[in-house]
Structure 1
């Protein structure tokens, strides 16, 4: 809110944007009532700055100070799950797992994978790779007990 309402209640706000150093363009057709507004129609990779005017019965205020530069980018979401996990080979105390990378990376490169396993008759999953993310879509699980049935789950962490 402005420090002064000019003697009349603020009825709304007008928002303008511009490309870095360019010409100011009005963003909203009618003044918004809230002190927040989602600006649509921006292009990824361009840099924008914004300013706001307050409106009351007498008209519009001078513009606010210019905002910091904003560079829109695609929103990043969690990736999809790894595809087609398989036990490719095994011995009495190891299992060699392989999988295919997720169909969707969430808008950011996959940083790595986490493998979890559980005994077949329990519900408790335990992380297998404790030190770091697995960088490739294969991993050898070590320290298995001969005769124990286990289930594994490969997942990709948030990026």
Structure 2
């Protein structure tokens, strides 16, 4: 019989998510922030991430939301206001320390990479080709879209290679 106190003995709260916090998909009132998994999950899987924001001249943080993903959409930002963000990881032991953004982000000011294209689907698969379809991204990142980069990844590897750039 396993003693429950012994099975939890080597578990702890996770470390802070790995950074830096990246900003993409900027609009006048929203952006997308992303981060990487913590260096340590504390010996038990990460359940989700808590995300908070504050205006850079304020002391109190407000909750943006909780997500299982490594990114979240930040909405309801005030145009031309500076914001800071922080993210913490949670496992079954508890919530770990925060990763805090390196510098304030001003809504609508920073040009960022666009958000990903929406509704990507495969229309046709042939022996040596595939036909794809997608819709433009929700956000152009504050700059006109100039094209799309199509990449492929063999299933057995983690390496992506560029196939074509469409203008």
Which TM-score band (shorter chain)?
0.5 to 0.7
State yes or no: 1:155 paired with 2:102.
no
User: 2:71 is matched with which residue?
Assistant: 138
The whole-number CA distance in structure 2 between the counterparts of 1:102 and 1:150 is 23
User: Which ranges of 4 or more aligned residues in structure 1 deviate by more than 4 Å?
Assistant: none
Match of 1:101 among 37, 59, 64: 37
1:82-123 CA-to-partner distances (Å, cap 9, x unmatched) read 111111231101110010010100111000001001101111
Q: Normalising by structure 2, report the TM-score.
A: 0.50
The whole-number CA distance in structure 2 between the counterparts of 1:100 and 1:88 is 15
Bigger fraction of residues in strand: 2
Q: More relative contact order in 1 or in 2 (CA 8 Å, sep 6+)?
A: 2
Name which one, 1 or 2, has greater alpha-carbon Rg: 1
Size of the alignment, in residue pairs?
89
User: 2:17 is matched with which residue?
Assistant: 82
User: 1:92 is matched with which residue?
Assistant: 28
User: 1:43 is matched with which residue?
Assistant: none
Q: Normalising by structure 1, report the TM-score.
A: 0.52
Gaps of 5+ in 1: 1-46, 49-69
The two structures, once aligned, show a CA RMSD in angstroms of 1.5
Contact 2:45 2:91 in 1 (8 A): no
Contact 2:14 2:41 in 1 (8 A): yes
